[in-house]
Protein backbone atom coordinates (compact mmCIF):
# COMPACT_ATOMS: atom_id res chain seq x y z
CA UNK A 1 0.00 0.00 0.00
CA UNK A 2 1.32 3.45 -0.90
CA UNK A 3 2.01 5.48 2.27
CA UNK A 4 0.01 8.69 2.65
CA UNK A 5 1.71 11.88 1.52
CA UNK A 6 3.14 14.17 4.16
CA UNK A 7 0.98 17.03 5.32
CA UNK A 8 1.75 20.36 3.69
CA UNK A 9 0.24 23.85 4.10
CA UNK A 10 -1.02 23.61 0.52
CA UNK A 11 -2.76 20.30 1.25
CA UNK A 12 -4.55 21.87 4.21
CA UNK A 13 -5.71 24.95 2.29
CA UNK A 14 -9.20 23.51 1.63
CA UNK A 15 -9.92 20.70 4.11
CA UNK A 16 -13.60 20.80 3.11
CA UNK A 17 -14.94 21.18 -0.42
CA UNK A 18 -18.50 22.44 -1.01
CA UNK A 19 -20.37 21.84 -4.26
CA UNK A 20 -23.93 22.85 -5.15
CA UNK A 21 -25.72 20.89 -7.89
CA UNK A 22 -29.36 21.83 -8.21
CA UNK A 23 -30.98 21.20 -4.83
CA UNK A 24 -28.19 18.85 -3.70
CA UNK A 25 -25.12 20.03 -1.76
CA UNK A 26 -22.02 17.82 -1.59
CA UNK A 27 -19.50 18.23 1.23
CA UNK A 28 -16.18 16.48 0.61
CA UNK A 29 -13.63 15.82 3.34
CA UNK A 30 -10.45 16.88 1.55
CA UNK A 31 -7.36 15.66 3.41
CA UNK A 32 -6.30 12.77 1.16
CA UNK A 33 -2.71 12.93 2.47
CA UNK A 34 -4.16 11.81 5.84
CA UNK A 35 -6.90 9.56 4.40
CA UNK A 36 -9.33 12.35 5.29
CA UNK A 37 -8.63 12.10 9.01
CA UNK A 38 -10.58 14.82 10.78
CA UNK A 39 -8.32 17.53 12.13
CA UNK A 40 -9.51 20.36 14.35
CA UNK A 41 -9.52 22.71 11.34
CA UNK A 42 -11.62 20.30 9.27
CA UNK A 43 -14.09 19.76 12.10
CA UNK A 44 -14.42 23.52 12.64
CA UNK A 45 -15.16 24.08 8.97
CA UNK A 46 -17.53 21.12 8.72
CA UNK A 47 -19.47 22.27 11.80
CA UNK A 48 -19.70 25.84 10.47
CA UNK A 49 -20.87 24.71 7.01
CA UNK A 50 -23.48 22.33 8.42
CA UNK A 51 -24.82 25.00 10.76
CA UNK A 52 -25.07 27.42 7.86
CA UNK A 53 -26.90 24.91 5.67
CA UNK A 54 -29.28 23.75 8.39
CA UNK A 55 -29.95 27.33 9.51
CA UNK A 56 -31.43 28.36 6.18
CA UNK A 57 -35.21 28.29 6.10
CA UNK A 58 -36.23 29.36 2.62
CA UNK A 59 -33.02 28.42 0.79
CA UNK A 60 -32.09 25.14 2.48
CA UNK A 61 -30.89 22.39 0.11
CA UNK A 62 -33.19 19.53 -0.72
CA UNK A 63 -30.57 16.97 0.30
CA UNK A 64 -26.95 16.75 1.41
CA UNK A 65 -24.24 14.28 0.39
CA UNK A 66 -21.19 13.69 2.62
CA UNK A 67 -18.14 12.03 1.10
CA UNK A 68 -14.35 11.90 1.19
CA UNK A 69 -11.71 12.72 -1.40
CA UNK A 70 -9.44 10.28 -3.23
CA UNK A 71 -11.35 7.06 -2.66
CA UNK A 72 -11.54 7.16 1.14
CA UNK A 73 -14.39 8.39 3.32
CA UNK A 74 -12.46 9.07 6.54
CA UNK A 75 -9.97 7.27 8.76
CA UNK A 76 -11.41 9.05 11.81
CA UNK A 77 -9.97 11.66 14.14
CA UNK A 78 -6.46 12.82 13.27
CA UNK A 79 -4.37 11.28 16.06
CA UNK A 80 -1.21 12.82 14.58
CA UNK A 81 -2.18 16.35 15.44
CA UNK A 82 0.62 17.83 17.60
CA UNK A 83 -1.66 18.36 20.60
CA UNK A 84 -3.53 15.06 20.35
CA UNK A 85 -2.68 14.06 23.94
CA UNK A 86 -3.51 17.46 25.42
CA UNK A 87 -6.79 16.88 27.26
CA UNK A 88 -7.98 20.47 26.89
CA UNK A 89 -7.44 20.43 23.12
CA UNK A 90 -9.08 17.01 22.86
CA UNK A 91 -12.09 18.47 24.64
CA UNK A 92 -12.21 21.25 22.04
CA UNK A 93 -12.12 18.72 19.21
CA UNK A 94 -14.82 16.68 20.89
CA UNK A 95 -17.01 19.78 21.11
CA UNK A 96 -16.61 20.26 17.35
CA UNK A 97 -17.51 16.60 16.74
CA UNK A 98 -20.65 16.99 18.84
CA UNK A 99 -21.60 20.15 16.96
CA UNK A 100 -21.29 18.24 13.67
CA UNK A 101 -23.49 15.37 14.89
CA UNK A 102 -26.05 17.77 16.37
CA UNK A 103 -26.22 19.71 13.10
CA UNK A 104 -26.76 16.49 11.13
CA UNK A 105 -29.54 15.44 13.49
CA UNK A 106 -31.17 18.87 13.21
CA UNK A 107 -30.88 19.13 9.41
CA UNK A 108 -34.32 19.72 7.85
CA UNK A 109 -33.31 17.65 4.82
CA UNK A 110 -32.07 14.08 4.20
CA UNK A 111 -28.33 13.42 4.45
CA UNK A 112 -26.67 10.70 2.36
CA UNK A 113 -23.17 9.33 3.02
CA UNK A 114 -21.13 8.21 0.00
CA UNK A 115 -18.49 5.83 1.37
CA UNK A 116 -15.46 4.45 -0.45
CA UNK A 117 -12.36 2.89 1.10
CA UNK A 118 -12.19 3.30 4.86
CA UNK A 119 -14.80 4.62 7.30
CA UNK A 120 -13.08 4.18 10.66
CA UNK A 121 -13.70 5.57 14.13
CA UNK A 122 -15.11 9.06 13.81
CA UNK A 123 -15.45 8.45 10.08
CA UNK A 124 -17.80 5.53 10.76
CA UNK A 125 -19.69 7.69 13.25
CA UNK A 126 -20.06 10.41 10.64
CA UNK A 127 -21.41 7.94 8.07
CA UNK A 128 -23.87 6.38 10.53
CA UNK A 129 -25.09 9.84 11.54
CA UNK A 130 -26.46 10.20 7.99
CA UNK A 131 -29.97 9.08 7.06
CA UNK A 132 -28.81 6.86 4.18
CA UNK A 133 -25.46 5.22 3.44
CA UNK A 134 -24.33 4.32 -0.08
CA UNK A 135 -21.05 2.40 -0.13
CA UNK A 136 -18.64 0.91 -2.62
CA UNK A 137 -18.55 -2.88 -2.36
CA UNK A 138 -14.97 -2.82 -1.07
CA UNK A 139 -15.58 -0.19 1.60
CA UNK A 140 -14.32 -1.17 5.06
CA UNK A 141 -15.84 -0.07 8.37
CA UNK A 142 -14.27 -0.26 11.84
CA UNK A 143 -13.94 1.15 15.36
CA UNK A 144 -10.23 1.25 16.30
CA UNK A 145 -10.68 3.60 19.26
CA UNK A 146 -9.73 1.16 22.03
CA UNK A 147 -6.38 0.57 20.31
CA UNK A 148 -5.49 4.28 20.41
CA UNK A 149 -6.49 5.05 23.98
CA UNK A 150 -10.06 6.18 23.42
CA UNK A 151 -13.62 4.93 23.20
CA UNK A 152 -16.22 5.91 20.59
CA UNK A 153 -17.95 9.12 21.58
CA UNK A 154 -20.06 10.06 18.57
CA UNK A 155 -22.85 7.51 18.65
CA UNK A 156 -21.30 4.68 16.61
CA UNK A 157 -22.04 1.96 19.17
CA UNK A 158 -25.64 3.10 19.61
CA UNK A 159 -26.12 3.32 15.84
CA UNK A 160 -24.63 -0.13 15.24
CA UNK A 161 -26.71 -1.70 18.01
CA UNK A 162 -29.85 -0.17 16.51
CA UNK A 163 -29.09 -0.69 12.82
CA UNK A 164 -26.95 -3.84 12.67
CA UNK A 165 -27.23 -5.66 16.00
CA UNK A 166 -25.14 -6.36 19.09
CA UNK A 167 -22.90 -8.97 17.48
CA UNK A 168 -21.44 -6.62 14.88
CA UNK A 169 -21.21 -3.77 17.38
CA UNK A 170 -19.26 -6.00 19.80
CA UNK A 171 -16.92 -7.30 17.07
CA UNK A 172 -16.09 -3.84 15.76
CA UNK A 173 -15.62 -2.34 19.21
CA UNK A 174 -13.76 -5.10 21.06
CA UNK A 175 -11.72 -7.08 18.52
CA UNK A 176 -8.47 -5.28 17.58
CA UNK A 177 -8.26 -4.51 13.89
CA UNK A 178 -11.72 -5.86 13.12
CA UNK A 179 -13.12 -4.53 9.84
CA UNK A 180 -16.58 -5.18 8.42
CA UNK A 181 -17.22 -4.89 4.71
CA UNK A 182 -20.03 -2.92 3.16
CA UNK A 183 -21.87 -6.01 1.89
CA UNK A 184 -22.19 -7.43 5.41
CA UNK A 185 -23.46 -4.15 6.82
CA UNK A 186 -25.89 -3.95 3.91
CA UNK A 187 -27.29 -7.39 4.76
CA UNK A 188 -27.75 -6.27 8.36
CA UNK A 189 -29.35 -2.94 7.43
CA UNK A 190 -26.64 -0.44 8.44
CA UNK A 191 -25.82 0.34 4.79
CA UNK A 192 -28.75 1.05 2.50
CA UNK A 193 -27.11 0.46 -0.87
CA UNK A 194 -23.86 -1.01 -2.22
CA UNK A 195 -22.46 -0.23 -5.65
CA UNK A 196 -19.26 -1.13 -7.52
CA UNK A 197 -16.17 0.56 -6.10
CA UNK A 198 -15.74 4.08 -7.41
CA UNK A 199 -19.45 4.61 -8.00
CA UNK A 200 -20.64 5.52 -4.48
CA UNK A 201 -20.57 9.29 -4.99
CA UNK A 202 -22.49 9.18 -8.26
CA UNK A 203 -25.07 6.80 -6.81
CA UNK A 204 -25.41 8.89 -3.64
CA UNK A 205 -25.92 12.08 -5.65
CA UNK A 206 -28.54 10.42 -7.82
CA UNK A 207 -30.33 9.13 -4.73
CA UNK A 208 -30.11 12.55 -3.07
CA UNK A 209 -31.49 14.27 -6.18
CA UNK A 210 -34.47 11.90 -6.33
CA UNK A 211 -35.20 12.46 -2.65
CA UNK A 212 -34.75 16.25 -2.95
CA UNK A 213 -37.47 16.38 -5.61
CA UNK A 214 -40.08 15.83 -2.90
CA UNK A 215 -42.04 18.45 -1.01
CA UNK A 216 -39.60 20.19 1.40
CA UNK A 217 -42.05 20.35 4.30
CA UNK A 218 -42.92 16.67 4.01
CA UNK A 219 -39.26 15.72 3.62
CA UNK A 220 -38.45 17.58 6.82
CA UNK A 221 -41.28 15.83 8.64
CA UNK A 222 -40.09 12.50 7.26
CA UNK A 223 -36.46 12.85 8.32
CA UNK A 224 -37.42 14.16 11.74
CA UNK A 225 -39.78 11.22 12.23
CA UNK A 226 -37.01 8.83 11.18
CA UNK A 227 -34.47 10.35 13.54
CA UNK A 228 -36.78 10.98 16.49
CA UNK A 229 -38.58 7.64 16.72
CA UNK A 230 -35.95 4.95 16.01
CA UNK A 231 -34.84 4.59 19.62
CA UNK A 232 -38.32 4.68 21.17
CA UNK A 233 -40.70 1.92 22.26
CA UNK A 234 -43.70 1.40 20.01
CA UNK A 235 -46.17 3.42 22.08
CA UNK A 236 -43.84 6.42 22.26
CA UNK A 237 -42.96 6.10 18.56
CA UNK A 238 -46.64 6.10 17.62
CA UNK A 239 -47.03 9.30 19.62
CA UNK A 240 -44.21 10.91 17.65
CA UNK A 241 -45.74 9.70 14.38
CA UNK A 242 -49.09 11.15 15.39
CA UNK A 243 -47.51 14.55 15.99
CA UNK A 244 -45.86 14.64 12.56
CA UNK A 245 -49.06 13.34 10.92
CA UNK A 246 -50.99 16.29 12.31
CA UNK A 247 -48.21 18.67 11.31
CA UNK A 248 -48.36 17.45 7.71
CA UNK A 249 -52.16 17.40 7.66
CA UNK A 250 -52.35 20.94 9.03
CA UNK A 251 -49.90 22.18 6.39
CA UNK A 252 -51.95 20.54 3.64
CA UNK A 253 -55.15 22.05 5.05
CA UNK A 254 -53.64 25.54 4.75
CA UNK A 255 -52.99 25.07 1.02
CA UNK A 256 -55.45 27.02 -1.16
CA UNK A 257 -58.36 24.94 -2.38
CA UNK A 258 -58.49 24.16 -6.10
CA UNK A 259 -60.71 26.56 -8.07
CA UNK A 260 -64.34 25.56 -8.42
CA UNK A 261 -65.51 24.42 -11.82
CA UNK A 262 -66.97 27.20 -13.97
CA UNK A 263 -70.75 27.11 -14.20
CA UNK A 264 -71.95 25.71 -17.47
- Residue 211's nearest CA partner among 115, 131, 135, 106 is 131
| Cβ 71 vs Cβ 117: under 8 Å | yes
The list of the chain residues with pLDDT below 50 reads: 1-11, 257, 262-264
| Residue 254 pLDDT | 61
| Cβ 158 vs Cβ 113: under 8 Å | no
| Residue 248 pLDDT | 86
Q: Where are the alpha helices (DSSP H) in 29-181?
A: 40-55, 87-106, 122-128, 156-163, 166-174
CA distance 15 to 36: 8
Stretch (H or E) spanning 68 = strand 63-68
Burial class of residue 169 (count of CB atoms within 10 Å of its CB; 0-12, 13-18, 19+)? buried
| Residue 199 pLDDT | 98
- Which residues are tagged catalytic? 77, 122, 125, 145
Q: In terms of pTM, does the model score above 0.95?
A: no
| Residue 6 pLDDT | 41
| Residue 175 pLDDT | 97
Amino acid sequence: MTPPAKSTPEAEAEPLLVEHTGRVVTLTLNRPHRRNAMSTALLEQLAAELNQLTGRKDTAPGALVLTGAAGTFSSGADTREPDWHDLQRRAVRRAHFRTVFQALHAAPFPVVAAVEGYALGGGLELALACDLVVAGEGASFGLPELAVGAVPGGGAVHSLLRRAGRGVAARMLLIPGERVRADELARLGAVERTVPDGEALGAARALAASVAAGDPALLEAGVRLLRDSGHLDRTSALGVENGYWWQAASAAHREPAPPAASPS
